[in-house]
Amino acid sequence: MRHSQRRGRPLRAASLQSPAGRGRLCPGPARLGARPVRAEPRRWHGRGHGAMAAAAGTRCCSRGLAAAAAALPGGGGPGPVPGPGPVPGAAAPATAALYVHWPYCRQRCSYCRFNTYVVPAVDEAAVRACLVREAQALLRLSQVHSVTSVFFGGGTPSLASPSTVAAVLEAVAGAAHLPPAAEVTLEANPSSTSASRLAGFRAAGVNRISIGVQALDDAELRLLGREHTAAEARKAVEAARGLFPGRTSIDLLFGLPGQSRDAWAQRLEAALGLCDHHISLYQLTLERGTALAARVRSGALPAPPQDLLADMYQTARSVLVASGFRHYEVSNFARKGALSTHNLSYWQGDQYIGVGPGAHGRFVPRAEGGCSREARVQTLEPVAWMREVQSQGHGTRSRVVLSPLEQLEELLSLALRTDEGITHERWGHFSPQLSLQAVFGQPGEARALQQEGWLVLDSGGLRCTWAGLAVLDSLLPDLLWQLQRALGAPAERRRDSGKGTSCERP
């Protein structure tokens, strides 16, 4: 899975973009911190492709946390002791994950609104040179000494040649330490995933493959505008499993217009018979401006009922867990320890660097003397991006320093997507003065959610229950509201952030 939400339900979150810049990763309200205003059935999301990981702050920026800690009963409460402490987010300042975006596709799928381009020809040598140069420049800027994982997403990165992948990995290894066992994932479409091509990627340094199967029925694939057939998808997965045993993931969509419960059960059974040890399930997003969304709006195709979507999701969870999979993130399932290391970097708030057109990143630009983690976005359009990389070394379009509150909002929204949730230790990296217990252990929304059976706060940290994970987007508004209050966010901001939101639990 690339770190973007490619195919999930539209999320009511703020600007938590995927590294590919194509979607929102975390469930939540229309704006972070939105106060729920009316009840409606829970609606979930898909990917997290995605992501953004929480950002690290600085010692000087943490004064607000210290003040908030002092104002709470018992000061900072159990957990990290109030005081100077470490720089928030500084537990691993010298490591980062790396996302590399290949923006080109052979054709645009009917549901796609991602930063992808269909062009007559690609000057791969020029794109390769720019990916290499930008990776080197941003790694130097971040001053990370080790890259924990690399993810080639798109677009369709399996259309790139293995030599391009090898060149990028060589550049990464030259600018920082790339451990021999580091996870290196490449997303692939079945139509560009022959055994010989996969062998070339393996020789280039790829050790994990994520295949965009999306459906295992030819009629559904035609509806989605995919260029492969179900037979080609099966052949691609089998070839990948032979070359990457235990490290082949598949993506599958549910909630297609007209898809029935029985049809989804059949697709799920087929996927279980085909998949390796990792599967990502995403509810189809009908994005405005796409051909598929237009057909649904016109009445040519039926919109899936919410109750049906809920049943499909719960059925998938139960079936996969019964088959030995761990439901370790809202949309992701793994068995035999085959979790995605790279995607966990986003969900756990680690630094990551985005390379390529439209890629997103979260890191501290230490080479410039920076001490705060920034949210960074690369220029979207490939030709303009290449021009900027050639002239200045990288194509960064925007950079925003994240406040301590924004960092904690992101951490809360993303880490709660996982079954582990937020540990006290990880929270302490971002908030050394104000403990997790001090914020969410006090009387308020979080305690009520615990009493209702949605959340757990104990010595392990804060996490969703099995029931709570399925309705996370309806829990977050309350939790964000409580976090903002604890950190002394202005009432006006909290009031404004709730406008237009309607996402409460059933």
Write the secondary structure of 200-265 as one string of H (helix), E (strand) and C (coil): HHHHHCCCEEEEEEECCCHHHHHHHCCCCCHHHHHHHHHHHHHHCCCCEEEEEEECCCCCCHHHHH
Structural contact between residues 37 and 502, judged by C-beta atoms closer than 8 angstroms: yes
Split at pLDDT 50, 70, 90, the class of 504 is very low
Q: Which two structure tokens, joined as six digits, stand for 278?
A: 């990792």
The more confidently predicted of residues 43 and 298 is 298
Split at pLDDT 50, 70, 90, the class of 406 is very high
Domain end point (choices 325, 345, 365): 345
Q: Say whether both 300 and 424 belong to one domain.
A: no
Total domains, the chain: 2
Range of the domain at 469: 64-87+404-496
Split at pLDDT 50, 70, 90, the class of 375 is very high
| Among 52, 46, 42, CA closest to 20 | 52
Burial of 202 (0-12, 13-18, 19+ CB in 10 A): middle
- Name the percent of the chain lying above pLDDT 70: 78
The DSSP call for residue 14 is S
- Name the percent of the chain lying above pLDDT 90: 77
Split at pLDDT 50, 70, 90, the class of 40 is very low
Q: How far apart are CA 294 and CA 114, in angstroms?
A: 16
Q: How far apart are CA 19 and CA 277, in angstroms?
A: 24
Q: Say whether both 189 and 260 belong to one domain.
A: yes
Residue 58 lies in a domain: no
Q: Check residue 422 and give left, alpha or beta (phi > 0: left; psi -120 to 50: alpha).
A: beta
Residue 502 lies in a domain: no
pLDDT score, position 94? 87
Per DSSP, what are the bridge partners of residue 283?
254
The more confidently predicted of residues 45 and 392 is 392
pLDDT score, position 20? 59
Q: How far apart are CA 24 and CA 16, in angstroms?
A: 5
pLDDT score, position 501? 32
Residue 452 CB contacts under 8 Å (≥ 6 apart), including other chains: 505
Q: Say whether both 311 and 453 belong to one domain.
A: no
pLDDT score, position 488? 87
Q: Say whether both 226 and 307 belong to one domain.
A: yes
Question: Taking all residues of the chain, what is their mean pLDDT, rounded to a whole number?
Answer: 83
Q: How far apart are CA 428 and CA 414, in angstroms?
A: 16
Q: How far apart are CA 436 and CA 466, in angstroms?
A: 21
The alpha helices in 20-62, defined as continuous H runs, are none
Residue 141 lies in a domain: yes
Q: Say whether both 429 and 463 belong to one domain.
A: yes
Split at pLDDT 50, 70, 90, the class of 144 is very high
Q: How far apart are CA 171 and CA 162, in angstroms?
A: 14
Q: Which amino acid is residue 24, in one-letter code?
A: R
Looking at residues 458-463, what average pLDDT do you find? Answer: 98
Residue 160 lies in a domain: yes
Q: What is the CATH number of the domain that holds 250?
A: 3.20.20.70
Q: How far apart are CA 315 and CA 326, in angstroms?
A: 15
User: Element (H or E) spanning 316, and its range?
Assistant: helix 306-322
Q: Say whether both 334 and 431 belong to one domain.
A: no
Q: Say whether both 326 and 290 belong to one domain.
A: yes
Other beta carbons less than 10 A from residue 245's beta carbon: 10
Range from 112-121, 129-138, 246-255 carrying the lowest mean pLDDT: 112-121
pLDDT score, position 497? 46
The DSSP call for residue 422 is B
Other beta carbons less than 10 A from residue 120's beta carbon: 4
Split at pLDDT 50, 70, 90, the class of 370 is confident
With b meaning 16 or more CB within 10 Å and e meaning fewer, what string describes 336-359? eebbbbbbbbbbbbbbbbbbbbbb
How far lies 59's CA from each of 62, 70, 404, 490, in Å? 5, 16, 10, 22
Q: How far apart are CA 178 and CA 129, in angstroms?
A: 20
Per DSSP, what are the bridge partners of residue 98?
150, 353
Q: Say whether both 472 and 328 belong to one domain.
A: no
Q: Say whether both 460 and 413 belong to one domain.
A: yes
Give tens-digit pLDDT for 464-501.
999 999 999 999 999 999 999 999 877 655 544 443 33
pLDDT over 80 (residue 17):
no
Q: Say whether both 304 and 426 belong to one domain.
A: no
Domain end point (choices 345, 362, 396): 345
Looking at residues 61-69, what average pLDDT do you find? Answer: 38
Q: Does the CA dihedral 99-102-105-110 come out positive or negative? A: positive
pLDDT over 70 (residue 47):
no
Q: Say whether both 448 and 320 belong to one domain.
A: no
Q: If DSSP codes are grouped into helix, strand and coil, which group holds residue 50?
A: coil
Residue 34 CB contacts under 8 Å (≥ 6 apart), including other chains: 12, 28, 477, 480, 481, 497, 498, 499, 500, 501
Structural contact between residues 64 and 115, judged by C-beta atoms closer than 8 angstroms: no
Residue 11 lies in a domain: no
Give tens-digit pLDDT for 154-183.
999 999 999 999 999 999 999 999 999 999
| Among 309, 308, 304, 326, CA closest to 317 | 326
Other beta carbons less than 10 A from residue 400's beta carbon: 12
